[in-house]
Amino acid sequence: LVFIPLGTTGGLIVKQNSYLALGKPLPELPSVVGNMGILKALRTLDFWLIFFTFMAIIGGGITILNNMPELVNSLLPFPPNSSIETKDIPYAKYSSTFVVLFSVFNTIGRLASGFLSDYFLDKVPRVTWLVFIACLMTVTQLYFLLTDIPAIFGGVVLQGIAYGGAFAIVPTLISEYFGLKHFGAIYGFAVLAPAR
């Protein structure tokens, strides 16, 4: 028998060989090391790999988000130390548009990565999604390095997807690897990774 959590209301117990509503067999669940406590989890390599990957992904995303106006201004061809009014700067109005785009695709990234990681769980391990998200964040950081202002739109979209995807995958990984008994304490420590 396997227990499948269903939100805060409880869960569903099914036999390992039964079929779900989609007609697919229940995937093999990763071996949970047990319901580890916070101190035991902090002594595992798995926790620290998830922690530092989460820190790198969210750190890159929050840096772009917080510095969007500076990023836009840095790509403009103005001489250094020139005093120009903000209203005279072309593309200055797009800074707020980029922040909104980032937020919208952050939400889409959270929903899509959660759904896709569940849907393809029998073919792709969930930790692979975290690696994919980290690679996507790295590629978009390099994209910002080599782009100009009109092309930033695509980078902001990909950055938002990667940023949101990390927030959907990391809690699931922590619950799968360390169990649900002390999930709040372990995840609470893991979210210190992106703290500024």
Report pLDDT digits (tens) over 28-56.
544 545 688 899 999 999 999 999 999 99
What is the torsion angle, in degrees rounded to the nearest 10, for the CA atoms of residue 100, residue 104, residue 106 and residue 108?
-170
Residue 186 clears pLDDT 70, i.e. is over it: yes
Beta-carbon count within 10 A of 124 CB? 13
CA distance 196 to 185: 20
N- to C-terminal Cα separation, the chain? 43
Report pLDDT digits (tens) over 62-89.
888 888 877 777 776 666 666 666 666 6
Residue 90 clears pLDDT 70, i.e. is over it: no
Specify the pTM: 0.75
Helices (H), 9-93: 38-42, 45-66, 68-74
